[in-house]
């Protein structure tokens, strides 16, 4: 079974070509302060998560219909593997806001659980003398095309009751390959992101240093403005001294009244 190369190139969001679901990683608060937290990933829009949800629902149906209710641990193992893959994508994406290390670890567990589930379906086909559908099988291409273009459970729900065990197993195998392809690319992206941007501690240090630099620039700008204002006050005092008025640097209201009075007296003398 080949991987889904077309639909999982970006591992992105459903119905949005080129939108990776993890672009624009950082944000700023309303006052302009930089945040050290990444923007939350909307995991429900990740196509490999959507397919992992389909796999979980499909596996529950498959195990209930085709595996013994008692005495076979395979049922619990398959259901738990499908659930573990889905849930670790959820937890990893949520933890990614603060910890890339935790996110990568949980996504790796999700990928491992998906591989375990894939192996269980392959074993079922072998035990029951059924074949895995490959590229030369006439039933492979329609199945592969459908799974590649549909990632939501609602697209599969009406089909599951109409399919036999060979069809369900091959559909699950196809979905497992596509989930694996999407997770692999996503993990590689997160690994590169960590290498270039660092972890939460590095981001916190950088953000704090950036905030201090902003504060320093603000203080320098205010000091420069104060210097300009003092120079302007000195210039105005020089003008006032020409009228015999002494400039004041105290209360602005008092100073303004003195200036007005002084100018009035000067005018009377000239008359």
Residue 156: how many CB atoms within 10 A of its CB? 22
- Whether 13 is in a domain gets the answer no
Are residue 54 and residue 153 in the same domain, yes or no? yes
Is the Cβ–Cβ distance between 177 and 146 less than 8 Å? no
- Express each pLDDT in 124-163 by its tens digit: 999 999 999 988 899 999 999 999 999 999 999 999 999 9
Are residue 153 and residue 32 in the same domain, yes or no? yes
Map residue 13 onto helix, strand or coil: strand
Higher pLDDT, 198 or 159: 159
Are residue 190 and residue 247 in the same domain, yes or no? no
As beta bridge partners, residue 13 has 46
| Chosen domain end from 197, 221, 250 | 197
Are residue 148 and residue 251 in the same domain, yes or no? no
Are residue 30 and residue 147 in the same domain, yes or no? yes
Map residue 240 onto helix, strand or coil: helix
Sign of CA dihedral 142, 147, 150, 152: positive
Q: Say what the pLDDT of residue 261 is.
A: 56
Q: Say what the pLDDT of residue 143 is.
A: 95
* Total number of domains in the chain: 2
Q: Say what the pLDDT of residue 19 is.
A: 37
Residues 6+ apart with CB under 8 A from 62: 78, 165, 168, 169, 172
- Whether 150 is in a domain gets the answer yes
Choose from 28-32, 100-104, 201-205 the range with maximum mean pLDDT: 100-104
Are residue 34 and residue 165 in the same domain, yes or no? yes
- Where residue 14 falls among pLDDT bands split at 50, 70, 90? very low
Closest CA to 49 of 152, 133, 128: 152
- Express each pLDDT in 92-102 by its tens digit: 998 887 888 88
For residue 201, give Cα distances in angstroms to 98, 99, 177, 213. 9, 9, 35, 18
Q: Say what the pLDDT of residue 264 is.
A: 55
Is the Cβ–Cβ distance between 55 and 179 less than 8 Å? yes
- Whether 3 is in a domain gets the answer no
Are residue 230 and residue 141 in the same domain, yes or no? no
| Chosen domain end from 197, 229, 262 | 197
CA distance 265 to 258: 11
Is the Cβ–Cβ distance between 113 and 84 less than 8 Å? yes
Q: Say what the pLDDT of residue 79 is.
A: 96
Put residue 24 in one of left, alpha, beta given phi > 0 → left and psi -120 to 50 → alpha: left
Domain of 121, in residue numbers: 26-197
- Whether 5 is in a domain gets the answer no
Q: What is the DSSP string of 16-81?
A: -TT--SS-S-EEE-TTSPEEEEEPPP-GGGBHHHHHHHHHHHHHHHHHHHHS-SSS-THHHHHHHH
Please compute Rg for the chain using Cα positions.
34
CA distance 87 to 106: 9
| Chosen domain end from 197, 228, 260 | 197
């Amino acid at each position: 079974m080949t991987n889904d190369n077309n639909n999982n190139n970006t591992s992105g969001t459903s119905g949005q070509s080129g939108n990776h679901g993890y672009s624009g990683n950082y944000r700023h608060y309303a006052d302009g302060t930089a945040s050290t937290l990444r923007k939350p990933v909307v995991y429900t829009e990740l196509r490999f998560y959507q397919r992992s949800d389909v796999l979980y629902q499909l596996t529950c149906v498959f195990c209930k219909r085709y595996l013994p209710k008692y005495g076979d641990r395979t049922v619990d193992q398959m259901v738990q593997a499908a659930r573990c893959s889905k849930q670790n994508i959820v937890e990893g994406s949520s933890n990614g806001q603060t910890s890339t290390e935790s996110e990568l670890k949980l996504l790796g567990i999700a990928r491992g659980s998906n591989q375990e589930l894939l192996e269980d379906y392959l074993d079922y086909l072998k035990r029951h003398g059924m074949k895995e559908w490959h590229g030369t099988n006439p039933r492979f291409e329609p199945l592969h095309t459908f799974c590649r273009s549909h990632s939501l459970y609602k697209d599969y729900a009406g089909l599951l009751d109409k399919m036999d065990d060979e069809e369900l197993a091959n559909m699950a195998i196809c979905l497992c390959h596509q989930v694996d392809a999407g997770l692999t690319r996503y993990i590689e992206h997160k690994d590169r992101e960590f290498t270039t941007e660092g972890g939460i501690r590095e981001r916190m240090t950088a953000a704090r240093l950036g905030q201090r630099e902003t504060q320093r620039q603000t203080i320098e700008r205010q000091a420069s403005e104060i210097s300009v204002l003092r120079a302007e006050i000195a210039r105005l005092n020089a003008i006032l001294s020409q009228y015999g008025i002494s400039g004041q640097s105290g209360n602005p209201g008092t100073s303004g009244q003195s200036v007005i009075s002084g100018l009035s007296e000067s005018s009377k003398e000239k008359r």
